Amino acid sequence: MPAITEDVIKPQESVQRSWTILRVLIGIILLTASCMKAHMLATTPMLGDDILHSRWFNILVVQFEMFFGIWLLVGLMPKLTGLASIGCFTIFAAASGYKAVTGESSCGCWGNIDVSPWYTMIFDLFAIGLLAWFRPKGIVFQWKAFLNEMPELKRFKCVGIVTTIWVILAVPVAWAMITAEFVTLVPKSLLTKNEKNVVLKPFQWIDTEFPLLPYIDDSSRAKLIIDRKTVVLFRFDCKECKQLIEKLSNKNEYVFIAIPSTEDNPEIFSMPEYSMLSDQYEWWVETPVFFELENGIVKNVSREPNKT
C-alpha cells in the first residue's frame, strides 16, 4: 500500500477548507434571503396568479431555504449536501430565468428589496459553478454511501441540531406569514374602517359593478356610471405607468385613477386631471390596469391600452 505523503494531504485539506467556507457562505445567504422573504410575506400580499407568486408556495420556499441554510452551516453529510446544493441552485436559476424572460422587474428573492432576476440568475449560475468545483468528490450513487459519510451517532446528533434550530426559527416565522391579514376587495361589498390592507384582483371583476366606485370622489364616480369609459388605474411611483400615461394623457377617452403612494408627484405625469383612490386604505395591485366600463359595469380588463 503506497504511503500517504504530505503532498497529498495538503491539497485535500485545502479543498476541504474551501468547501467549508463555501457552504458556510451559502448557508448564510440562504438564511438571510429566507428572513427577508419571510418579512415580505408577513407585511405584503403576493400579487400574481401563477405558482411562483402563490403565497403558500413562497411560505414553503422560505421554510426550505431556512432548513437548508441551517443544514449547510452545520455541515451534515458533505457529499450529499454538495449534490443537493447544486440541484437547489439549479432550480433557483431556472426560476430567476423564467421571471427575467417574462419581464418581471424583481426576482422576489430578497423580500422587499428589488433585485433584477437577471442578476439573481447570474449569481445562481456562479454558485453552481463554485459548488461543482469545490464539493466533496468521490460520490458513489448509492444511498448507503451517503449515509456512511459520517458515523451514525454523529449523524443523528447533527440531524437533531439542524431540526431543533429549524423548529425554533420556523414556527414563529411561519406563524407571522400565515396570520398576516390582507383583504381582497369583492364586488358589491364595502370595506370596513378596520380593513387597512386591500388586495385588488381586477380580472375577477368582469361583468360586475366597478368595485372602486365607492372609494373615489363623487364627480369622478358620476363620469364612470354613464356611457362607455376606459379607466386607467396607476401609481405615481410606477415607471411603466409613467411611460404609458404620457402617451395617453391627451386622449379624452381615458379616465385616470391614482393609487395613493409615498411618492405622489403629479409633475412627473403630463395629464390634465386624475382622481385619487381613498387614502384610508393601502391598495395592493399590479399597475397599470385598464378597465373598459359601460354604465359602471366592468366589461373587460387588460394590462395594456387598446386591448380592453
- What structural domains does the chain harbor? 6-178 (no CATH), 184-302 (3.40.30)
In the predicted model, what is the mean pLDDT of the chain?
Answer: 82
Q: Which residues of 211-239 are buried (b: 16+ CB within 10 A; e: fewer)?
A: bbeebbeeebbeebeeeebbbbbbbbebe
Query: Which of 99, 96, 89 has its CA nearest to residue 65?
Result: 89
The pLDDT of 6-22, averaged and rounded, is: 68
pLDDT for residue 67 is more than 90: yes
The pLDDT of 157-171, averaged and rounded, is: 88
Say what the pLDDT of residue 280 is.
87
Say what the pLDDT of residue 151 is.
64
pLDDT for residue 94 is more than 60: yes
The pLDDT of 70-94, averaged and rounded, is: 89
The pLDDT of 87-116, averaged and rounded, is: 88
Give burial (CB, 10 Å; 0-12/13-18/19+) of 161: middle
The pLDDT of 92-105, averaged and rounded, is: 88
Say what the pLDDT of residue 127 is.
94
DSSP element (H, E) containing 18: helix 6-43
The pLDDT of 176-198, averaged and rounded, is: 83
pLDDT for residue 293 is more than 70: yes
